[in-house]
Structure 1
């Protein structure tokens, strides 16, 4: 009897943990009279960083000589390209756009396309080898300065396709590399909620349909990492404007 009671207590505890965990998940609800958050992202202390790699194999497919990979790009107006502004720990709001539930990364002429992808957490990622040479796509979850392998798959033949559901537990993005070609680099921002914005060509961002409330502001950049900016309070139907700087 004591053993049965002990097992029941453990089961109830586990159920309680599961309920608490699910309560922390993002909930999609109808948003009426939502507000918006807009602004720009200046480069600040960040410097442009383009690195040159020697193309040491498969020149007939990858090209000859060297390749420049722009890890940090600064726009002419001093804003930072490739940055994503997002609201952290938002518990409920608008639905995730359907187009973010799937992302396809092509490997063509030994380059990742897109070089910066966007997808929803728990979405489906497809990687295609469009080259007539071996690629080994290796993706890492970015967790601060650390990184953890998400997938590591060899694609030896032209036309090889792999599909994997992506679920990041701690990080908000992934680094993409090819273990067979050290000059192939890319990044993927993995959205936990739809409340994010990739800056445009002028460095501007816009997040809309935000339920009234107070939220933490963060920024992600594949190469530079993440940065926190405190909190904003969004009123129903209102607009908050803030110019951020890395």
Structure 2
């Protein structure tokens, strides 16, 4: 209902915004450049962020940035990912048959990756999301896989993406061998006040309707509530737009933000 009230053509604060319209903070832009470099040079990278700080935005933008004629992007997200399902999940995305035994699956995957590189002339990028939930056995298996052909060349680019606890885990002594294989590390911080305002305005531009909806003080309160987390900004803005439309208010001030936070949000 608020789309019509504010003359919007698109819904502004959702996860379904097209990649080209996503707000790119300085940190996301910098990380995007580093990850494109990792994909080009078939490196092992780690991306960490607190919940709602743009990790999904970065992954979506990266996938869109890579030329599909040159790259094949594979994506896995499974908190219970075992080594066998790691290999078989990638085999399935490559259009190959999975294998029951881990060793057979690993060998088959290497053959598929070599085929993609030598025959199709494509570089493979694998993104493993929610990697902070991976068990030691799976992380170690990933290291073994990257040791293929005596370190002469990684069989693919690999990005582990997860919450900040992923790096805390990798800093443990038991993961020293895995940590030594990492070529690049990226961390996404919370947005600052100015970036939060930029984020809100960028999404209103995408909505293609009324632009001047939130007062400066309202944005101050949104920033205080969200701490600059993308997901929290989306939540308070969406609820505020809905509440404003119900109250027939074209301008959202700090008082309405307070009301929304106190009565509608956890």
- Smaller-chain TM-score bracket: under 0.3
Larger strand percent: 1
Larger helix percent: 2
How does the TM-score come out when normalised to structure 2?
A: 0.26
How does the TM-score come out when normalised to structure 1?
A: 0.27
